[in-house]
Structure 1
Amino acid sequence: MINDDPGARDLVAIALRSFREAILPVVPADQRFTALMIANALGTAERELAACTGAEPALAAAVGDLLGETGDLPTLLPRLCAAIDAGRFDAPDRQSDLRAVLKDITLARLAVSNPKRLSAERREPGR
């Protein structure tokens, strides 16, 4: 049976929108910081859930290609770290591939943790 109910990402998005529109405007000044932290946490959770269905499979494929393995990102990242530590990417011809994948991982993490900074970086090339 197909589940037509909203998924986790949709539920978090609804909660965040409702919180911002209905709750945040009426929060007393002395509790505003806490309310903003809650909104920020919901926003981060929403972006993490989006990454699970968006960027994460592509990153897993890129890391897997680099390692010559398959698996999900949580499984492959520790293996990538071990391969780096073991010197598997010390050769100059391997370093550019590694740098490209590490850059993609960093950008994906930044898109979740601080998307405003990511937007600023893209507007200011060469920084």
Structure 2
Amino acid sequence: MINDDPGARDLVAIALHSFREAILPVVPAEQRFTALMIANALGTAERELTAGTRAEPALAAAVGGLLGEDGDLPTLLPRLCAAIGAGRFDAPDRQTALRAVLKDITRARLAVSNPKRLAAEGQGDERRGDGR
């Protein structure tokens, strides 16, 4: 049997769209901040549900490659922190690889929590022309 019911991401997207279209326009000014926080939380949840399934396996593979281990991201990240603390990435060539993975993790997190900042950062890179 085919399940045509919307999934969690679809339900959050529908709720966010409905909230923005039907509720936000009529929210009194004194409650506007709270309403915007709700819209922001729904937007973050929607992005997390969408991005988490795409980015997490690649990030886990990258972190696992640094550590020489296999596993999922929630398991590997504390191990990465411990390895950093133990000095496993103190050599310059290891630092370069570590920085690349940490930048990927940061970009993935920004894509969920603050995509506008991520977009602004990308535009800043082009203006600076220094590749940072």
TM-score, length basis structure 2: 0.90
Are residues 1:86 and 2:76 paired?
no
CA distance in 2, matches of 1:77, 1:88: 14
CA distance in 2, matches of 1:2, 1:65: 38
Q: Which residue number corresponds to residue 14 of structure 1?
A: 14
Q: Which residue number corresponds to residue 32 of structure 1?
A: 32
**CA offsets, 1:62-82, max 9 Å, x none?**
111111111111111000000
Q: How many residues align?
A: 127
Task: Give the direction of change, closer, same or farther, for the CA distance of 1:73–1:2 in structure 2 (3 Å limit).
Answer: farther
Look up the SS of the partner of 1:4 in the other structure: coil
Q: Which residue number corresponds to residue 46 of structure 2?
A: 46
**CA offsets, 1:68-127, max 9 Å, x none?**
111111111000000111111111121111110000001111111111111001011146
Gap regions ≥5 residues in structure 2: none
**CA offsets, 1:36-66, max 9 Å, x none?**
0100010111111122211111111111111
CA distance in 2, matches of 1:70, 1:94: 18
Q: Which residue number corresponds to residue 63 of structure 2?
A: 63
Q: Which residue number corresponds to residue 96 of structure 1?
A: 96
Task: Give the direction of change, closer, same or farther, for the CA distance of 1:103–1:42 in structure 2 (3 Å limit).
Answer: same
- Identical positions, percent: 87
CA distance in 2, matches of 1:86, 1:14: 46
